[in-house]
Each structure stands twice: as C-alpha cells, then as structure tokens.
Amino acid sequence: MFLAAFEAIRLYFILYHFKLYSESPFMVFLQTAFKGFRLDLSASAYCLMPIFLVVLLENVFGKKSNKWVLRSILILEFVLIFAIGISDPELYAQWGNKFNNQVLVYISHPKEMALSAGSANWVKTILFVLLLLPFFYFLLHKLFKVLEKDIAFSWQYGLVTLLTLGVNFIFLRGGLGVATISQASAIYAPKQVYNATAINSFWNALYYIVNDTRTLYGDEYIVVDQAEAKRLFDSQFNPTQGVLELSTQSKPNVLVVVLESFTAFASQYYSGANNCTPNLDQLSAENLSFMKCYASGDRTEKGVLAINSGYPAQPVSSLIVFPDKVNALPGLGKVLKGQGYYNTFVYGGDAEFASMKSYFLMQGFDKVVDKKDFDLASLNSKWGAHDAELYSKTIESINAAKQPFYTMALSLSSHEPFDVPYTANDLKKDDWYRFKNSILYADKSLGDFIANCKKQPWYANTLIVVVADHGHDIGVENVHYFGKEKYQIPMFILGGALKEEFKGRKIENVVSQTIIPSLILQSMHLPFNDFRWQTNALDSNGFAQYHYNNGFGRVTNHSEFIYDNNGLSFDFTGLKSEEAKVKNQGRIFQQVLIDDFLKK
C-alpha cells in the first residue's frame, strides 16, 4: 500500500513537470520507478516499523490495542506522504530541488512561506490533489481492514512478527552491507530532473528532518587532504592585481541597495534579453557597472551573507540559522562599526524571517528597521511594505542617523507573489508576466529612490552599491537549470563619493557578489584579508562560484562548469583542455568552504 502511494506521488511529479522530460511520461515513470525502487522500499519500511512494533507489543500482552492506535499512525504517515508529495513538484519548480533543510529555514515562518508559494500553479496542484485524495483514502481503508482483523496470539505469531521486523529493518537501511542507503542509490541520469523524480519524496524529506546540518557533509566532499586543499585553494587567487580606488573620501557613507530576485536577464543593459529595468540600465551605464557579476546562492538570506560578510552560499546548508557560526563571520558592518560608522538595516518585511535580524545585530548593526516600524498604511504588500515605501523609510532612517553611516536596504516587491501596485499593459501575457511586471515596478521605485538620494545633503559623501540578492528564472531558453544564466545579476556603484574616472566604466571580468566588502574596504585602505572567497575585479583570470542544493557552478571569462554532488556528474562549456583543471578547482573551493563552515 505504501509502495502504491509512493508511485502515485512519483507519477504526480512527472505529470507536473512533463515538459522537462525528453521521453513520454509513461517511459519516465518506468525508468524512475525502477531506479528509485530501493528508496521506495526503504521509505515503506520506515512507515511499517512503528506498525510492526505495535503488533509485537500486542502479542507480548496478548491483547489487541485500540483500533485508533494503528489508525492514528497510518493517518499521520499518509498525511505526511501526501503533503510532502504534493509540495515537492512546486518546490522543484521554484528552487530546483525537492524538500531539504532550506525548507526548514522557512517553515518556522508560515506566513512568509505561504507568500513564497504565491506564484505556484494552484490550479494544477488542486486538480492533482482532488485526483490523489480518493486514491489515498482507498489505500488507507484497505490497510485499516487488514490490521483490524482478529488475531490468535501465540509464540509462533510473535516469532514471525519479530522475523518480519528484522527483514523490514534490512529494507529500511537498504541492505546488509556496511553502507546504508542514500539518495545516491536513485541517481542515474545526467539531467537532474530525472534524478529528482527517482528519489523518494518521503524518504528525502525524512532524511533532512532527522539529520543535523553537521552530518550532511561527509567524506564525499573531500578531494585531497586539508593542507593540500588549502594550498590549491590559495593558488586560485592572484594577490598582485590592482585596487579600484573608488572614493574621493577617506570615510564615505556606504549605502547598499539589495534588489530582490533581480536577474541580469531582466535587463537590456546586462543581457539584452528583456527590457524590464530601464532605470537600472541607465544608472548602470552612467556609473561603474560589473557586467559579469554572479550571485553566490539562490535565496535571500544567502545573498545577504554574501553581500555583507563576503561569505559564499553552501550546498545543502544555510549558515544564517546557526548563531554561533554567524557570530564567527567577518562582516562589512563589523569593520565599519570599528571605524565609527552607524549601521542600519532597512527591510519592508519581517526581519526575523530566515534569522536575518539576529544576523545583522551580531554583525554590528545599530538598528534593524522592518515592517513593525512602518505606518500601517505603508504595509501595502502581502510581505509588508512595497519598494516605494521601503525607499521612503530608508531616506528617513538615513536622515536620522549620524555620519558616517552604513545602511543596507533590502527590497521585496519583486518577490513572489509579485502583487505590485502596477500594471504593464505592453508586456506579453506569458508565464513570466507577473514577475516581469513586478520588476518594472521595482525598477521604477529604484529610479525614484536614487533621484531622491541625489537631493539629500549626505549624497556628496556617499558610495551607493546596487546589487541583487540572487537571480531568478525569467524564461531564458536552452540553458542548464543550474546554469550561470540563473545566477547572473546586475551590480553597479554610484554616488557623490564615486571618483569621476569610474563613471561610465564597465568591468568586464567575472566577479561574485561576495566581492562587495573587499571593494569598499580596499577603497578606504582598510584591512580586507578576512574576505578571502573572491577574486579581484581586475583579474582577467578571475572566477565566480555559486552553490545550489548539493552542487555548484563555476564561471570564468572563458568557461562554465556545473557539478552535481549527488550523481558526480557535470556539464562543462569551454576549452576541453581546461575541463579537468576547472573541475578540480571548483571541488577544492567547495571542500575548503565546507570545512570552514563546519569549523565556525
């Protein structure tokens, strides 16, 4: 019965994403059901374990338990299987992975989690729910009948139950070998969606719920011994490159504007793919722009860490939920606080979401402004305050702060469910209309904000960095799901304190958003050695490495490398002679990053 439920969930996943497969849904179902059978069997064994234990206890005491004991166990298990199975296809559509520990970061904030699901295909989901519910009810009804039959308890019956429990345990762990079963047993294809389909949703979710993050990184991430890894890691950086002397001031004010989900492919200036950011494009062209900047991860809390702490996103884990590790992080806020800066974080939503408030407080920020500080009338978004209100509050906060100041403002209007107070009538009404429309609104709000900044007395002494927290799908065709197109973001620097020589200049070398603390501190002639995860903006051999759920991508001026830790598979674009080198460098970077994460 459990196997039947799991196969129904697998079929649902396939039908939800049928456009992503090159074969017919039926052939995909046969392939993935076969490859994922061991995990299905293990998941079934996990579900049967408490039932066998109850039956064994019934035999020991020679008395049938109340029928609702077993019924409650079965109902709970089927509800979990159903809920996880229904959620996984949309999680994969939004994040490129099934249930993992990133979901656990969000689950403690149900309202924000619901808003993140605002762009879900609810019609499709509800349709499948209505189809699956009767089937699950039928399976439960059959199980109730089997388990509620009258039994003649005896030592023979107890022995059989005990032996069955033992066999069930073997299925649970995946065999008699030393190594227990893992998601890797279902990995078989170079295309990630096939592997995601083969992996049992319930088993996968149970794994992330039970396992602490510290246990998620095993020996499979180790390429060489620690000393050699450090040597090879250090060799990836060229310390002799020059410094961008950005500022006319020794201690300029610093304003960092973080744009929610702004992909470079919304911009005509940065990609030529769309024309949703006319204000951003004009400001970028007039100032210092970074044409090949890449986000470190794919979630806001990872982008915040990358921008303020210069710390890369990790595969599988999210550092921000570990206070002891957050406290050990370097940060632009910490350094500037030591230089007498007044630090403020401004956000139109709930700053406690994804532990952001605690992060900024531990990073030396004097004040965290969030939706609790806005007038009720300003909370005009489902998340909180739209960008126009956010930027107004940012100006208000800066004007009330002493100088020099460091302020980070995080926008939210271009976040799901894209409910902006704006309608673009000339946009194509396709699957990406709502997202593009929200970008147009957010872009207009940004343009108005910068125009307002220029009127303020502090503007002449200020460097303003505008950068996205992460990228977003926007319908770019024929690209890898975890390819560089999803992670490329706009980034530019302006402000009255920006030297004239940088206005209108383009940086064409590859950089990561983690470069921001180094750029600011170098320009101020302050130590920046703690920020060691990125190459110099002037390095033509530089790279940007981003991490997604159990994999990474590495971009250089001449190549792109995407690596999947589960299947040990990769895609490479560039000179064939460079493939082995780039692969090794990327895996070494990942090994050193994970080791550093675990030690913090």
Tens-of-pLDDT digits for all 600 residues of the chain? 899 999 999 999 999 998 889 899 999 999 999 999 999 999 999 999 999 898 888 888 787 888 889 999 999 999 999 999 988 888 888 777 788 766 766 666 666 666 665 555 667 778 888 889 999 999 999 889 888 777 777 777 778 888 888 898 898 988 886 557 877 688 777 677 898 899 999 998 888 787 665 567 888 899 999 999 999 999 999 877 788 999 999 999 999 999 999 999 999 999 999 999 999 999 999 999 999 999 999 999 999 999 999 999 999 888 887 776 888 999 999 999 999 999 999 999 999 888 898 899 889 999 999 999 999 999 998 899 999 999 999 999 999 999 999 999 999 999 999 999 999 999 999 989 999 999 999 999 999 999 999 999 999 999 999 999 999 999 998 888 899 999 999 999 999 999 999 999 999 999 999 999 999 999 999 999 999 999 999 999 999 999 998 899 999 999 999 999 988 889 999 999 999 999 999 999 999 999 999 888
Q: Write out the two tokens for 114.
A: 């619901």
Residues 6+ apart with CB under 8 A from 150: 64
Give the number of residues written for the chain: 600
Number of neighbours of residue 175 by Cβ within 10 angstroms: 13
- Name the pTM for this structure: 0.79
Amino acid found at 184: A
DSSP codes joined into one string, 152-174: ---HHHHHHHHHHHHHHHHHHHT
Amino acid found at 481: Y
Give me the residues paired with residue 556 across strands. 543
Q: What single-letter DSSP state applies at residue 295?
A: -
Residue that has been written with the tokens 């005896």 in this structure: 154
Q: What is the CATH number of domain 236-599?
A: 3.40.720.10
Segments making up each domain of the chain, as ranges: 2-211, 236-599
Q: Contact, 409 vs 391, CB < 8 A?
A: yes
Number of neighbours of residue 465 by Cβ within 10 angstroms: 24
Amino acid found at 193: V
For the chain, first and last CA: distance in Å?
45
d(CA 518, CA 510): 15
CA angle 292, 303, 495 (to 5 degrees): 65
Q: What single-letter DSSP state applies at residue 64?
A: P
3-state helix vs strand vs coil in the chain, percent to 5: 50, 10, 35
CA nearest 87: which of 16, 33, 23, 160?
16
Residue 102, H or E segment: helix 101-107
Q: Residue ranges of the alpha helices (H) in 401-490? A: 433-453, 484-487
Number of neighbours of residue 399 by Cβ within 10 angstroms: 10
The values of phi and psi at residue 271, to 5°, are -140, -25
The full 3-state SS of 2-49, as one line of letters, equals HHHHHHHHHHHHHHHCHHHCCCCHHHHHHHHHHHCHHHHHHHHHHHHH
